[in-house]
Structure 1
């Protein structure tokens, strides 16, 4: 099958008037000009979004229901991880063994239970624990866990980071009170990114002794960022991007109630109130995930923050795929999966193609 793209935008730049040839779900050629038998995509074509931090959507919990993945596929997320909140270890293992993946889900992200009590956010504190190798071995043995968030200051964390990194699990520093010295030790042991920068940590990003200050100014860590206008104030987002544009990883941190009307819901076992599409715990008022989708975040990056489209593609497609070591997604190039999106002039999503097939 052939597709004519008036404009292709990837993390490497812009190509005009290209015909994309797709066979068996993969891109086999990209040629200048339009073939007579090509489908005209009639818009800007970008790679499918890659979301490495997503708890659900459409009323479905990513940790138990593959329909969460299908919901996000329709909003442009052609590759994602199913994120879990903190639970007892045995419960996590049982869910991992049972969970069936949607076609766009390639693995699991465990946001807990190895996080700080002081910065646990919308995680149930009684389930937080310290990592021990026998539990980590259970996670690795499922071959489903691709990404784990850890507070590096807790007992056993540095050994856990080293073990997981050696077993090809992406480790993020997050929900943490770590100082810069501990952050550096975590990096030395294999930590590669930070979970939702600014959230779940001290917020003084001018202080280089804090997690956020160290990560932003004194490291090469990838930095997850939620662009929903709620989790991080607009001016602070601009400051973060100015300091670390080449390290930003756009995520949703979407909860199961993303795409649903305002009301009362659960995130894990915790009651949540959604008002004006902002989700907070009913007790304490902490933010409880987001109602964001990747297409909305991408449009916000360009239209509200003034990020150029190539950089936005790096944030939402290329860079998350790189950190996941997902080599066949995140780009429009020969040999990659034919996962691409068609956007209009306002950067709103028009069409989603997954492995060369239009997603209805």
Structure 2
């Protein structure tokens, strides 16, 4: 048995004590005087990530995916999705097949398709060459391969509502994103079964007091809103506003990280498009659009707390809420007896000191 002492962040509170781990699971959480002032949080859950450490999820290369997962694990992400960008169907199919062994080994929790069923008007850094209307035929074949957890769809596209319902009926989460939808079209997407908003504000029609659009539609709906807390995609004030408005049980911190995360400035590739990274900011060469991030989940947690969100709420957003999005809330995402022993030991300034996944230090 392993005992980890410090200030333990649990839903709604920070308590001093010890987390006791037996094998791959948490045995108990005991309130007593610890021998450390470390901060202990559940392992981070990132439901939207394209790569990191010079490795990418977007090409379907299993070795590269392993490298990306290992990079983010070192930053406390113990559960993550491999996010593709808009791609030809053949690449989506091959990548999904290639990642099945990684899912079975527990290195990643599944696959997220950010595209290709997105708006041309709000495609952002997505490659417009590959955008197309939602296809039940494509989704059927992909889901049959296994491991599909999340699909981003613009609800105003032809066939989008049918596709969202199709996904919901097969226990695959659908997200509203890269969309020029009106407020009413957004609510139709939620009614059809969408349960997530892909990187709120980014890749969306902006709010207007006479046309609230998808941002207000999602914030006022029972969906989980993804937030990129890198102080680039969202101003800290907007991050605090969105997280406070939605609440921590409807907000999920994500990285939207690309392969350049943790790497030097330079030129990279995202979905067949050249991206220049300078001073942490990634932009498309062709038009200067922000192209993913260079964020890690530990940095996202620090930025969220710095923006004025209480630590227990920020941890809910980084771990508990995204675990629930994946249907894994009864297995991981919190420091509770019986859950998987995924945890991160942080210093008092929220820097990663040690990471444990399934009871093993990594």
1:234 to partner: Cα distance: 2.6
1:231 to partner: Cα distance: 0.6
Aligned to 2:84: 84
Tell whether 2:222 aligns with 1:227.
no
Tell whether 2:72 aligns with 1:72.
yes
The CA RMSD measured in Å over matched residues stands at 1.7
Conserved? CA contact 1:81–1:108, under 8 Å: yes
Aligned to 2:194: 191
Conserved? CA contact 1:206–1:213, under 8 Å: no
Conserved? CA contact 1:69–1:103, under 8 Å: no
Match of 1:59 among 54, 58, 71: 54
Match of 1:147 among 142, 150, 162: 150
Q: TM-score, normalised by structure 2?
A: 0.93
Q: Which runs of 5+ in 2 are unaligned?
A: none
1:205 to partner: Cα distance: 5.9
Counting only pairs closer than 5 Å after superposition, residues 21-40 of structure 1 correspond to structure 2 as 21-33=20-32
Match of 2:350 among 342, 347, 352: 347
Counting only pairs closer than 5 Å after superposition, residues 142-181 of structure 1 correspond to structure 2 as 142-181=145-184
Query: 2-side partners of 1:258 and 1:136: how far apart?
Result: 30
Shift in CA distance, 205/227, structure 1 to aligned 2, threshold 3 Å: farther
SS at match of 1:54: coil
Query: 1-side partners of 2:22 and 2:240: how far apart?
Result: 41
Q: Which stretch of the first structure deviates more once superposed, 57-66 or 249-258?
A: 57-66
Aligned to 1:98: 98
Shift in CA distance, 346/205, structure 1 to aligned 2, threshold 3 Å: farther
1:85-122 per-position Cα deviation (integer Å, ceiling 9, x unaligned): 01011221011112242744110110000000001111
Aligned to 1:43: 38
1:41 to partner: Cα distance: 6.2
1:82 to partner: Cα distance: 0.4
Q: Which runs of 5+ in 1 are unaligned?
A: none
Shift in CA distance, 207/253, structure 1 to aligned 2, threshold 3 Å: farther
Counting only pairs closer than 5 Å after superposition, residues 190-209 of structure 1 correspond to structure 2 as 190-204=193-207, 206=209, 209=212
1:208 to partner: Cα distance: 5.2
Conserved? CA contact 1:61–1:256, under 8 Å: yes
1:347 to partner: Cα distance: 1.4
Q: Which stretch of the first structure deviates more once superposed, 9-18 or 269-278?
A: 9-18
Aligned to 2:299: 296
Tell whether 2:214 aligns with 1:211.
yes
1:221 to partner: Cα distance: 1.8
Conserved? CA contact 1:4–1:34, under 8 Å: no
Aligned to 2:256: 253
Conserved? CA contact 2:237–2:307, under 8 Å: no
Query: 2-side partners of 1:71 and 1:310: how far apart?
Result: 25
The count of residues paired between Structure 1 and Structure 2 equals 352
1:27 to partner: Cα distance: 1.2
1:213 to partner: Cα distance: 2.0
Query: 2-side partners of 1:236 and 1:112: how far apart?
Result: 25
Aligned to 1:9: 9
1:309-343 per-position Cα deviation (integer Å, ceiling 9, x unaligned): 10011110110011111131111111111110111
Conserved? CA contact 1:107–1:145, under 8 Å: yes
Conserved? CA contact 1:115–1:175, under 8 Å: yes
Aligned to 2:132: 129
Aligned to 2:280: 277
Q: Which stretch of the first structure deviates more once superposed, 129-138 or 8-17?
A: 8-17
Tell whether 2:246 aligns with 1:244.
yes
SS at match of 1:299: helix
Query: 1-side partners of 2:81 and 2:36: how far apart?
Result: 28
Shift in CA distance, 8/115, structure 1 to aligned 2, threshold 3 Å: same
